[in-house]
Structure 1
């Protein structure tokens, strides 16, 4: 198995290098930008700006409100909006990198930042930020997170818009009917998942994410139960993903599938999982702050709560980092001045507050984070407190690895489904992931 993984990695690298060389051969005076030598231009500060939303459909309505506000304040600039589903966004950008047609501005979160930065298609934003009205107004931790995710050179390639956090949503009405305690510990979580399940009546204690995005949720459950607080061992060369404690945790978590969860979960991404929870009689859902407003609309605020992830046996909460989202300026833009105006406007106090209240996330703008709606959105308030009161340890995922997004998504999501179906052991699955991560870490260190 390990040999096939290494062959697969070498093949993928060869393809990428071949594509890069092909671009070099056809470019005139390639400057190493990854865009065929096209450095773009500042432009007139007017005209059209093409914006790709990396969470199209989910955030389309609120982005259109922000765009309408921007165009009203800047009547000489038109923003053309293109919404792209989160599951398709990276592949669409990668295709555009090779074939042309990149936007002026695009959603660039921490999870995909290293891959784009490595291909040198993003403009550095440190100088623009230092000279803008945003200087000193953005959450410093979010800025640091995006700098760290950019591949290790300390450059800022994306302006943060918001931060997310893992949340355990549970149906307060169902818990009260069953006489269950709030699922604040992993033991109470598993007890509730079992007690609330009556498959014959289509009632389940939990919904597990088996489709797109499943790996990050599984990692959160693993580290939360094992209590391991670092993604790498002391040497920094080997991942702790396949530590025996994490293997045991994944075995227990995956065993929930079809026992205490719907069988449809096998293919559910977050939108299907959220819709299923909102419309059915499922006790618990692990997602993040982003779906809070969906639950309020579907259930009403009095039928559920969103609380921080359960604590382990030590009384400490351990969870994996949730990527900061942001906006990047693509290097080949011919209208960078206008594009930057849009980024600056979208992350200003009023627009940051409006956007994040709709998304249910923590604003990057410090002034927006003080607005009244934060205290009224209970999951956001509790998440913010959990991250600052010393009760939570964050396991930092290696967003800086250019291969991270591929390893944690396309490469291994089908194998996680095999684990749920009992066709692959948790140990074999995590050993496979660990081999890929260790190779990617070694490659990154050699490059550095």
Structure 2
């Protein structure tokens, strides 16, 4: 999406969408197609349900293992697994909301939650959780994160995991260069310069220029500027002069201390490049830890929380909590809820998060021994819940946020890397879109 043409245009689109949905629902009747607006039903608590994995291909194996365990514990329920790549899941949900074919249960990250919930596609889960064995066993911070992200004060997903920004660095390369751990941004920039030898195809850093680049750039930007709030009143701080200067420094690493191919790299290409090459540092999250272990072993790298400012202040943007949503159109909500309960239970939640290297939502799972054994996860959890890290909450409550931060601005950020757009112009444009979206959201009485 490009710069928003205005509130009237979005209002007209919303009206058109509402009309389409109404026609779709009336046409579908009770054929099980699952369109938004279809109220579905509780069902018998047995039979078949469909589950959409929002990170298909990456987490397919562990989900299939959990599904097999669930079906063994609930022999009357069969779960059909559908894996959808993370970069495609938003459009898949949007298409199914308009035309039918929604699953019973689906993975819904906080970044896209408000947009899906605004179309009445998700069942509020507050009452179900209140009556569930899960009550009191989910991390309160994650529950509040997804409640806030839904934009309506309701719980539209049961949180399953929290991710966190991690700076992975090659300990062998740092030792050889006599460099200290990049625990501060100053040390980070020094290392990026010192480890770069373009003639030998060695680089200090790999930057994300493809899909997912904007959120990562914002993390580095706020981390270096030290600004601790995304909003100042109802105006965003993204184009604050301190943030402009921080983004200029971050984007200035491109091609100077990074490979030129980074301009198109999404996380899979970036991670593969770091694992196989002579690159000193990589910003990603906990999800790629096992990939690094497979490629490098545990003796050649570490994963630490994002750097601090020189005074020890650590600022990071909120990472979207992942969760499982129950779709309103499901004809078998009772069985679907049983699957969600099982996936968020101690054993299954621990198993999934151990595979992903993420922080469990289940408080019992969060005490399991493997977290202490996985250094990046342990350090991330300590930083996240220490009370000393300042979290900049991204505006997940805005239905437009996921589109603004992805399709609308990833190509523009590539222009910043290539030097055809200034960091100031990029952030001013982003701020204009965000301020307009916030004003429209406020006008609805939120």
2:128 aligned with 1:123: no
Secondary structure, aligned partner of 2:391: strand
State the 1:103 CA deviation.
0.4
Describe the shift of the 1:140–1:180 C-alpha distance in structure 2 as closer, same or farther (beyond 3 A). same
> 1:131 Cα deviation (Å)?
1.1
Question: 2:157 — aligned with what?
Answer: 158
Corresponding residue for 1:433? 430
Are the structure 2 counterparts of residues 427 and 345 from structure 1 closer, same or farther at C-alpha, using a change threshold of 3 Å?
same
Stretch of structure 1 that moved more, 310-319 or 381-390 = 381-390
- 1:265 maps to 2:279: no
C-alpha separation in 2, matches of 1:436 and 1:142? 27
Is the Cα contact below 8 Å between 2:209 and 2:264 reproduced in 1? yes
Residue matched to 1:412? 409
Taking the aligned partners of 1:10 and 1:253, their CA distance within structure 2 comes to 36
SS where residue 5 of structure 1 aligns?
coil
Secondary structure (helix, strand or coil) at the match of 2:68 reads helix
Partner residue, 2:42: 42
Q: 1:391 Cα deviation (Å)?
A: 3.0
* Residue 5 of structure 1, CA deviation: 3.1
Please state how far the C-alpha of 1:384 moved relative to its aligned partner: 1.3
- Give the RMSD, CA atoms, in angstroms: 1.6
1:281 equivalent in alignment to 2:283: no
Q: What is the 5 A alignment of 1:24-63?
A: 24-25=22-23, 27-28=25-26, 35=35, 37-63=37-63
From the superposition, tell whether residues 396 and 118 of structure 1 become closer, same or farther in structure 2 (CA, over 3 Å). Answer: same
Q: Secondary structure at the match of 1:286?
A: strand
Distance 1:324 1:265 in 2: 26
- Tell me, yes or no, if the aligned pair for 1:71 and 1:79 is still in contact at 8 Å: yes
Q: Secondary structure at the match of 1:7?
A: coil
Residue 72 of structure 1 and its aligned partner are, at CA, apart by 1.2
Query: Deviations along 1:352-385, whole A, 9 cap, x unmatched?
Result: 0000000000000000000000100001111111
Do the aligned residues in 2 keep the contact of 1:28 with 1:36 (CA within 8 Å)? Answer: no
1:36 and 1:384 map into 2 onto residues whose CA distance is 37
| CA distance in 2: counterparts of 1:215 and 1:406, whole angstroms | 11
**Residue in 2 that maps onto 1:177:** 176
**Could you tell me how far apart the structure 2 residues matched to 1:127 and 1:166 are?**
33
Distance 2:338 2:386 in 1: 36
Match of 2:305 in 1: 308
Q: After superposition, what is the alpha-carbon deviation per residue over 1:120-161, rounded to whole angstroms, capped at 9, x for unaligned?
A: 11001111111111111111111111111111x321010000
State whether structure 2 residue 221 is matched by structure 1 residue 190. no
2:25 is aligned with 1:22 = no
> TM-score if structure 2 supplies the norm length?
0.96
Q: Any stretches of 5+ residues in structure 2 without a counterpart?
A: 29-33
Looking at structure 2, the residues matched to 201 and 9 of structure 1 have their Cα atoms a distance apart, in angstroms, of 52
**How many angstroms apart in 2 are the aligned matches of 1:27 and 1:349?**
38
Aligned residues: 439
Match of 1:222 in 2: 221
- Give me the whole-angstrom Cα distance separating, in 2, the residues matched to 1:222 and 1:251: 9
Unaligned segments of structure 1, at least 5 residues: none
- Normalising by structure 1, what TM-score? 0.95
Q: Encode CA deviations 1:292-319: one digit per residue, 9 max, x unaligned.
A: 1111111001110000111113320000
2:192 touches 2:257 (CA, 8 Å); kept in 1? Answer: yes
Question: 1:143·1:160 contact (CA, 8 Å) conserved in 2?
Answer: yes
Tell me which residue corresponds to 2:323. 326
Quote the residue 1:168 is aligned against.
Answer: 167
Q: Distance in 1 between matches of 2:295 and 2:311?
A: 36
Q: Is the 8 A contact 1:28 1:37 kept in 2?
A: no
Q: Secondary structure at the match of 2:433?
A: helix
2:338 alignment partner, SS class = helix
Counterparts in 2 of 1:103 and 1:29: CA distance versus 1, 3 Å:
closer
Which one of 225, 245, 250 corresponds to residue 247 of structure 2? 250
